[in-house]
Amino acid sequence: MPLLRGTPEWDAWRARISATMKGRTQPRHLVEKRKRFGIKPSDETRAKLSAASKARWTAAHSKKMRAARKPRGPWKMSEETRAKMSTSRRGRPAYHPRRVEYNGKMFRSTWEVSVARFLDRLGVEWQYEPKSFFFTDGSRYTPDFFLPADNAYWEVKGVFSRKSVEKIAEFRRLNPAIPLVVVDAVVMKMIAPNDGLDLRVRKINSWK
């Protein structure tokens, strides 16, 4: 049976609620409700609420809360863990959450699919990620495409991160005899289904 305002049961329930909330800070939803409906507590009530809040937030409690909110530094992987993970991934394809299917193969981006279609239109034989190259620090680098006829690798890059630039530079330093062509946004604009594409691919392969 619901309580009716003004009845003894109602008064007893309000007394229990008041006794329970005594010494506590006001809930946020009540504060927001007062603001919404323009209900303002008296100066005496505000003084009591302020005193109760100050009593709760002691110096020890404040220190504990600040320690809990203290930002932690970025998590860093140790060199030993990095080397173990690199070794465990050897011989496996590099992980990438995004996959695009073309001609029965799974690619990592739509740009790579565009390059594969471009080479197919020209009748150029290509292989997708056939080999990984390992560096002295244990990391590895897997170029996207290999063109056996030109003995050249193609790397498709839409966005260059610092890590990508370092890997490409390290690959070229360790393998100066192997051409590595970086297919960026400028080269992608050259890839279009019209005449003269065989001349364009030879021009691209001449870049090192």
The model carries a pTM of 0.47
pLDDT tens sequence across 64-96? 766 766 555 555 667 787 777 767 666 555 555
Asked whether 194 and 168 are in contact (CB, 8 A), the reply is: no
**């020209």: which residue's tokens?**
122
Contacts of 167-174 with CB under 8 Å at 24 or more apart are 167/135, 167/139, 167/141, 168/141, 170/135, 170/141, 171/133, 171/141, 171/143, 172/208, 174/133, 174/135
Domain ranges of the chain: 8-64, 96-205
Per-residue pLDDT tens listing for the chain (208 residues): 566 767 888 788 778 877 776 666 666 667 677 677 667 777 888 788 777 777 766 666 666 766 766 555 555 667 787 777 767 666 555 555 567 788 888 888 888 888 898 899 889 999 999 999 988 888 889 999 999 999 999 999 877 788 888 899 999 999 999 999 998 888 887 775 443 444 444 444 444 4
Strands, E assignment, 24-93: none
Calculate the dihedral angle through the C-alpha atoms of 158, 164, 170, 175, rounding to the nearest 10 degrees: -40
Asked whether 208 and 154 are in contact (CB, 8 A), the reply is: no
Q: Which fold has domain 96-205?
A: Endonuclease; Chain A (3.40.960)
Asked whether 139 and 167 are in contact (CB, 8 A), the reply is: yes
Task: Please name the residues in contact with 197: beta carbons below 8 A apart, sequence gap of 6 or more.
Answer: 118, 121, 122, 191
